[in-house]
Amino acid sequence: MREIMNRFTVAVVAALGVISGSMITTSNASAAQVYLSPMFRDRVVIIELTHSETVAAAQIGAGNVINAVLGNNRWGVLLEDGSKYRGPDDLPVLARSWNTVTGQQVIAEAAAHPSGRVVFGVFPDNPTLPLWVMQDW
C-alpha cells in the first residue's frame, strides 16, 4: 500500500510540475497553493489549483493519472452542485469513495465552468483512500 501511495505522490507532483511549467510559459499566473491542512492536524496535503491551472490540467489529461494509479475505488470525489455526474439521489454535498466518474471528467468539467477549479486532498496516512478531489465553481 505504501508503494502505491508513493507512486501516486510522485505522479501528482509530476503532474503539478507540468501544469505549473505550462502556466509559466503562457502567463504570469501563480503556482498551485500547496499546504498542510490544520483541520486534519497537518496530516493532509491540500493542493488548490486556480482556474487557469485547472484548464491546463484538463488539457494535458492530468486527471487520467488518478485512475491509472488508484483505479475507480481508491479515491474520493466531492462533486459541485450542477455537476452532470451527480445522480438524482445525491445529497447537496456529495462525497463518494466509489466513482463512476473519472479523474479526467472531474477536472475537465470544473475547467469548463468560468472560474471553475479543483482542489486535491492527499491523505498519506490512509492508503485505502489516499486522495479526494473536489470541484469548485
Read off the pLDDT band of 23 (50, 70, 90). very low
Q: What is the torsion angle, in degrees rounded to the nearest 10, for the CA atoms of residue 92, residue 137, residue 54 and residue 77?
A: -10
Which tens digits make up the pLDDT trace of 99-130? 678 999 999 999 999 999 999 999 999 988 89
Bridge partners, residue 35, by sequence: 46
- Residues with Cβ < 8 Å from 23, sequence gap 6 or more? 29, 31, 52, 53, 56
- Residues with Cβ < 8 Å from 67, sequence gap 6 or more? 102, 103, 104
| Dihedral (CA of 91, 86, 109, 21) sign | positive
Which tens digits make up the pLDDT trace of 56-87? 999 999 999 999 999 888 899 988 888 998 87
Rg (CA), the chain: 14
| HEC sequence for 11-40 | HHHHHHHHHHHHHHHHCCCCCCEEEECHHH
Return the closest-CA partner of residue 121 out of 79, 76, 65, 86.
76
